[in-house]
A and B are shown apart, each in its own frame.
Chain A
Amino acid sequence: MSNESQTMIEVEGLTKLYGDFIAVTNLNFSVKRGEIVGLLGPNGSGKTTTMRILTGYMPPSEGIVKIAGYDVLSHSLSARAKIGYLPETVPLYQDMEVEEYLSFMGAMRGMNNNKIKNRIDEVVDQVSIGHYLDTHIGKLSKGYKQRVGLAQAILHEPDVLILDEPTIGIDPIQVVETRQLIKEIGKDHTLLLSTHILPEVSALCERVLIIHEGNLVAEDTPENLGEKLRGSEKVQVDIDGPIADVTSFLRSLDGITGVRQTEMGEFVRYVIDARSGTSLLESLASMILQQGWKLLGLSSVSMSLEEIFLQLTSSDFEEERE
């Protein structure tokens, strides 16, 4: 097995139940050495659960998880030794100084004092927290706390880096900086990161796993996913006519999958989701006029990444897949 193609994270049939509640269902995926993979899904979709199982915090209910070849159940300590982990709530001792905290975490990972010293120098540079080594962690801003969390995760040069929503809860400027930092770190790590923000995976990841209600619903490169999703389009029409009639008429048209209306005073604005290839835009205007309603505007709307994501994880999309 060559080094490049080595599988660093291997997940087979992973299922996790909390009591009777199924949080994650039969996940299958793998991450190769050097890859940067995003786990994308809305809140409550099972990202944290999955990561907690990968990192050995909790056991799977069913399935096999291997980190760098070590089973997280039967060879837990060896598997854990390979991982650098930044949990969703950044785990910091508020009354410790930054350097003290990093030393402690290094020691917990079995590093010797010399190694710890050298590595602290390096990572502190990498995440730019050199000025804060003697600062109590509790006094740092959220963005800087996040950096300390990242420093902790990469300190022992882990084979696999797992970051759970690394930009959640920090201010927008620091989000940009943190993403840049993660991008840098990703250059020489195998990285699995979770997020519920689509642009974040587009910006950082080579491959995306989309998780929804505990199921993997899609897996591809960010570019390809975008392509696939362009299979639908959105049209906005402003009409002066009886709302109920217009709505039911629009819904009855072939290829239309959804209609939302907003009253704008003089007229009503309808936003229509349609399958692409129906050339709706051309025929729609004349059809509306035929009904005797006033057409005040008609335009095509491009979907934002968030909308694409919503659509990907909506039940429509699942039906299409099946």
Chain B
Amino acid sequence: MRNTFIIAKKESKAYFSSPMAYVIGAVFLALTGYMFVSSVSNPFPEATIRGWVVTSTFIFVLWSPVLTMRLLAEEQKLGTLELLMTSPVKDYEVVIGKYLATLLILIGTLFPTIWYVILLYWFGNPDLWPLLTSYLGLILFGGATLAIGLLASSLTSNQVLAAVMSFGLLLLLTLTNKAALVTVGLSATILEEISLTAHFDDFARGIVDIGNVTYYLSVIGIFVFSAIRSLESRRWR
């Protein structure tokens, strides 16, 4: 456990001490801010954050591959992975530490959006529950995209390749939703079930469906576990 935190700390510190963190944070705020303002400045504004929250999921699909691409790929490239893997540290501690760091970065980047919530309370009378579930949904959705990126990064020492792989998979998992609309029967159900986006909408509406929560936790579990196995398998090559 201690080792996991040491790695998470190192990783998140590296991120927040680079100027890139603030550029990305600013872009994220600008995009969500724009969506927020346009969603509340129509003739019948609702006091919700749904306007920017759904947009954020698309931002995550673009951002997570970039955020995760270096996690393990760079360690392989620099040779530092050899040092980590010969330190008295378990492979899963390394992987989970890295994953926690990205989750922390995601939450840190979401944090300034609290400002929109404050504005809502200032000018209106929003329901608290949908706000909370929206944030829960964002963290689960983001967490799933990060886990997918983590696996991609464990498979190669080429960061760009890692980003392309995870972006491709994420795009696929968001588009199955749309594909489900043009199909019928069992295949439509399956496409809908595996879609990352289909499981999100309820959260933005204030509904915490246990099936949706299970879906995201399963995606996170499966991909983080695969990343651990992928790292372990490096030893046998």
CB contacts (< 8 Å) of B2 on chain A: these are: 110
CA distance A110 to B90 in the complex (A): 12
CB nearest neighbor in A for B82: A87
State whether B6 touches A58 (Cβ < 8 A).
no
CB nearest neighbor in B for A86: B83
State whether B86 touches A56 (Cβ < 8 A).
yes
The answer, yes or no, to whether B88 is at the interface (CB within 8 Å) is yes
CA distance A255 to B90 in the complex (A): 59
The answer, yes or no, to whether A223 is at the interface (CB within 8 Å) is no
CB contacts (< 8 Å) of A58 on chain B: these are: 235-237
CA distance A95 to B21 in the complex (A): 14
State whether A85 touches B78 (Cβ < 8 A).
no
The answer, yes or no, to whether A77 is at the interface (CB within 8 Å) is yes
CB nearest neighbor in A for B5: A107
The answer, yes or no, to whether A92 is at the interface (CB within 8 Å) is yes
Q: Is the interface of A mostly helix, strand, loop or mixed?
A: loop
State whether A95 touches B18 (Cβ < 8 A).
yes
CA distance A121 to B194 in the complex (A): 54
The answer, yes or no, to whether A55 is at the interface (CB within 8 Å) is yes
Considering only residues 1-59 of chain B, those with a C-beta below 8 Å from chain A are 2-3, 6-7, 10, 14, 18
CA distance A18 to B236 in the complex (A): 9
The answer, yes or no, to whether A94 is at the interface (CB within 8 Å) is yes
Considering only residues 65-113 of chain A, those with a C-beta below 8 Å from chain B are 77-78, 80-81, 83, 85, 87, 89-96, 104-105, 107-110
CB nearest neighbor in B for A59: B235
CB contacts (< 8 Å) of B10 on chain A: these are: 104
CB nearest neighbor in A for B90: A77
State whether A108 touches B3 (Cβ < 8 A).
yes
State whether A108 touches B79 (Cβ < 8 A).
no
Chain B residues at the A interface, C-beta cutoff of 8 Å: 2-3, 6-7, 10, 14, 18, 78-90, 235-237
